[in-house]
Amino acid sequence: MAIQVSGITKRFNDFTALDSIDLEVRSGELLALLGPSGSGKTTLLRIMAGLESPDAGGLLLNGEEALGLKPRDRQVGFVFQHYALFRHMTVFENVAFGLKVRPRGQRLGSAQIRQRVTELLELVQLSPFAGRYPAQLSGGQRQRVALARALAIEPKVLLLDEPFGALDAKVRKELRRWLRKLHDDIHITSVFVTHDQEEALELADRVVVMNQGRIEQIGTPAEVYDHPASAFVYEFLGQVNRFDCTVEGGVAHVGGGALTIPTEGGVQGPAVAYVRPHDLGVTPATAGPGRISGIHVVGPDARIEIDLAGLALEAEMDRERLATLGIVAGDRCAVHIDRARVFAR
Partner 1 sequence: MPADTSISAPASIPVPPAQSALTEPAWVRAALIGGALLFLALFLLLPLVAVFVEALRRGFDAYWTALIEPDAVAAIKLTLIVAAIAVPANLLFGVAASWCVAKFDFRGKNLLITLIDLPFSVSPVISGLIYVLLFGMNGLFGSYLRDMGVQIIFAVPGLVLATVFVTFPFVARELIPLMQEQGSDEEEAALVLGASGWQTFWRVTLPNIKWALLYGVLLCNARAMGEFGAVSVVSGHIRGETNTMPLHVEILYNEYNFVAAFAVASLLAMLALVTLVVKTALEWRFGDELAAARH
* Minimum distance of partner 1 from residue 49's CB (angstroms): 6
DSSP bridge partners of 61: 3, 64
Walk across the sheet containing 311-318 and list its strands: 280-284, 332-337, 290-298, 301-308, 311-318
**Residue 90 Cβ, how far from partner 1 at the closest point, in Å?**
12
Cα–Cα distance measured from residue 208 to residue 4, given in angstroms and rounded to the nearest whole number: 14
**Minimum Å distance from CB 86 to partner 1?**
6
At its nearest, how many Å lie between partner 1 and the CB of residue 149? 7
- 83 scored as a contact of partner 1 (CB under 8 A): yes
- Cα–Cα dist 59/48, whole Å: 7
Q: Are strands 259-264 and 340-344 parallel, antiparallel or unpaired?
A: parallel
CB of 45 to partner 1, least distance (A): 11
User: Residue 150 or 292: which CB sits closer to partner 1?
Assistant: 150
Task: Report the distance separating Cα 23 and Cα 79, nearest Å.
Answer: 21
Find, among 235, 196, 232, the residue nearest to 212 by Cα. Answer: 232
Which one among 86, 251, 321, 329 touches partner 1, defined by CB under 8 A?
Answer: 86
- The dihedrals phi and psi of 234, each to the nearest 5 degrees, come to -55, -45
What residues are paired with 336 via a beta bridge?
281
| Smallest separation, CB 134 to partner 1 (Å) | 7
Question: Which CB sits closer to partner 1, 133 or 343?
Answer: 133
Residues 111-170 within binding reach of partner 1 (CB under 8 A): 133-136, 142, 149-150, 152-153
Residue from 4, 57, 58, 97 in contact with partner 1 (CB under 8 A): 97
Q: Of the listed pieces 66-74, 247-255, 257-265, 325-333, which binds partner 1 according to CB under 8 A?
A: 66-74
Residue 154 or residue 174: which is nearer to partner 1 going by CB?
154
Q: Which is nearer to partner 1, 152 or 247 (CB)?
A: 152
Which is closer to partner 1, CB of 95 or CB of 292? Answer: 95
Q: Which of 1, 60, 67, 84 binds partner 1 (CB under 8 A)?
A: 84
Part in contact with partner 1 (CB under 8 A); list of ranges 19-27, 55-63, 81-89, 262-270: 81-89
Q: Which of 8, 85, 272, 342: binder of partner 1 (CB under 8 A)?
A: 85
The footprint of partner 1 on this chain (CB under 8 A) covers a number of residues equal to 31
Site map 22..51 versus partner 1, x via CB under 8 A: ---------------------------xxx
Q: Which residues bind partner 1 (CB under 8 A)?
A: 49-51, 70-72, 74, 76-78, 80, 82-88, 97-98, 101-102, 133-136, 142, 149-150, 152-153
